[in-house]
Amino acid sequence: MATVDEQIQAIEEEIFNTQKNKATEHHIGKLKAKIAKLKAQQELQRIKGAGGGKGYYVKKSGDATVALVGYPSVGKSSLLNRLTGSDAEVGAYHFTTLEVIPGVMDYKGAKIQILDMPGIIKGASRGKGRGREVITAARAADIILLMGDVYNYRLDVLERELYDAGIRLDKVPPDITLNPSDKGGIILRNTVPLTRMTEVEIAEILRAYGIVNGIVTVREDIDTETLVDFLAGNRIYVPQVAVINKIDLEYDDVREEIKKTIGRDFIPLSVEEDLGVEELKDLIYDTLGFIRVYLKPQRGKADMKDPLVILEDSTVRTVCEHLHRDFVRHFRYAKVWGKSAKFPGQSVGLDHPLADEDVLSIVVRGR
């Protein structure tokens, strides 16, 4: 019996060899739906296959988390030590790091947790080299830092492994909504022209996922992969930063070759020589997107020298949880001055979104 990969390949060949016109549209839609269903089956098998092994668990701390994902022996532990002052074991041989090692980088008022992950190799998303456990731990990060060196710089391979494990780098969730119903079939509403999929193909893929009735609203020009990502419901969308270490050992035209191979900009780095480290700190901080909030006691002046540094899109609830676990439970109201307020001193609730340089005063009930 053919494997799932072989079945997918056979269907893709059939699609390629089928003339595309109005008469074959329905048939091609069904074929794409079959591929979507087979990929879902493949993913389910991967998840089930993850049982029985020891997983990695690291408690999140600080204001944000960065996961160092890269090949063995490209300098991840050395970078962790340089960024955080940790003392991770360093060695010039594969798999020095056998567990996830955390450290905290204090930078511009933010406490950023850095996770040194065991090195991953090709086939990691299928469990090779304990790669599945590493990738699972990386799913909780706010940034994934892809790391290679001048000898091992195929970051595109690492990205593919993360992609196969449901991690989407530098992407946002599909702008699709689904309102299921009991009858009426599938009704498609799109607010932009759909050039990469037909309505028939979309409907067939929805049926492959067991959706036969409902209103689907699509607000972007989606393709099959985007629709499957939406229907799977377990994708992680996270920004990434690419670095190439040991740049002090560069040879010939290796920088141009790296850029051509990975197809993106990267930070040239030498942890050993302390080259590019400060630039990397800045990029991590800027990519995370922090805001500063100045806290004001109820009957006092705001502390304008020492702001609380939190991630963009944070709310009053975020600040309360940061300050003390009881603040949410005893919360009465808060007052805000700044960009997020409609007027100075606006009274707001826990779900009020904050902006950079807001002044915030929190009022809690007496205990």
pLDDT digits (tens, 9 = 90+) for 88-133: 555 444 544 557 888 999 998 899 999 988 877 565 555 555 556 7
Mean pLDDT of the chain: 85
Arithmetic mean of pLDDT, 197-205: 86
pLDDT at residue 356 in the model: 94
- The answer to whether the beta carbons of residues 231 and 205 sit under 8 Å apart is yes
In this prediction, residue 51 has a pLDDT band, given cuts at 50, 70 and 90, of very low
Amino acid at 156: D
Percent over 70 (pLDDT), the chain: 87
Tell whether the model's pLDDT for residue 170 goes beyond 50. Answer: yes
pLDDT at residue 122 in the model: 61
Tell whether the model's pLDDT for residue 28 goes beyond 90. Answer: no
Tell whether the model's pLDDT for residue 202 goes beyond 80. Answer: yes
Better-scored residue on pLDDT, 36 or 341 = 341
In this prediction, residue 49 has a pLDDT band, given cuts at 50, 70 and 90, of low
Tokens of 364: 């809690």
State the pTM of this model.
Answer: 0.78
